[in-house]
Structure 1
Amino acid sequence: MSFIVLFRRDGSSEERLAARGLDVGALAGAILADDDAPGSLSILVGQNEPRELGLYRDGDDFSPPYDIVLRSDFRDEPSLLRSVRRVQAAGGFDLAHAFEVEETRVKGGSRPIPHGCQAGIHMMHPLFFHEDLPRTALLRSWREIHADLAVRIHVGAETYSQFLVLKRMMNGPDFGGFSSLHFPSRDAMMNGYFESDRGRAEIRHDIRHFIRGLPPRLFATLHTYERP
């Protein structure tokens, strides 16, 4: 069972920034030490969105929508909830939303992933889908048509995955899925998030066929760990 868990601390921007300064390696070690721990996990630590990208965000708040994201496979929901409590205690996070997901890897993933903090910038985007769109039409629009377009337009990304939400837990928003891109460097992201202004326009036009809203994207540092 694959899950994505979103964590956020209430409070000022300074308090949220302090919560994101937790010892990620120690936290991952504690989670992976459990008897029923997953074989590996990814932890995303949020950072401010680069406003130079001009990604349709309203207002002047470019802070991450969530502070920490946990992404991993768990044997069952009780083992997931134990890890959620560990993360909440480590960072004092007030909010946690969990989603059971199904991943489709569109690009990348052939080389081994190093242990610990990864170079570059990770982007994860929660998505609201049109409620009147049949599941077969949604998957065709997202996994086939949009996936091909995204690979062609987001040329700076070395990996691209789509996570379809199968079940929402812990009062999570009605996100239907998540898109996930990893850029090997800030330059790769700034110069290759869109390959051109025309590509930006193509993406914006295409997503209207299946997406009904654009929640803020999470830009983050990616940390990956394996169980000893």
Structure 2
Amino acid sequence: MTQSEEQPHVVVNDRRRIDPETGEVRPPAAEDAPAPASDTAEAEEGGRHAAPEAEVVDAEIDPGPGEPGGDQAAELKAQLDERTADLQRLTAEYANYRKRVERDRELVVNTAKANVAGELLGVLDDIERAGAHGDLTGAFKAVADKLVGALSGTGLEPFGHEGEAFDPSVHEAVQHGTSPDVTGPTVTAVLRRGYRFGERVLRPALVAVTDYEPAAEAASEQQQQD
């Protein structure tokens, strides 16, 4: 028996489902049917004198990047990544849209409240003057307190008090004077209260402003000495 007859041959079966040459899906391989008894006996008899059978190795070969199966997988992954990016972008755009709609809705509501409150500032001035003259009593006072409380609950806030620093963004000076008793422009009298709604100034406060003047201090000291 020669060396070539004794050495078994190895046969590799390609079990890939996609044909690398055609790119088509292969049909499933049929199971080997059992051989008849007579054939089995003959095979056993002949096997004693036959050369060693070739060793059959079943292997699933992964398709490389250049093969049809690899190209298809890479294409599917690229499509999945693209769809995922589109979904994330749409989700972010929708979230921004909802925030913008909510912000616009809140702005419309606050603007409407501010407009209504602005129309009632004259009524609040009358209520304040009536209280200063002692005329705010009885049922009228109860109604006035409810009105002021309701407007304050919506965000209306009065400002303008004696002794605070003059701020031209919220104060309107209608009187001006000097005095050595102040260190800078100071509100010394409030002629009409101002109102704001949130950060929006509905009406500036009408005030009298007093500035510091050293000459006035010297004149005051001279009068005291005399």
TM normalised by structure 1 equals: 0.21
The structure with the largest strand share of the pair is 1
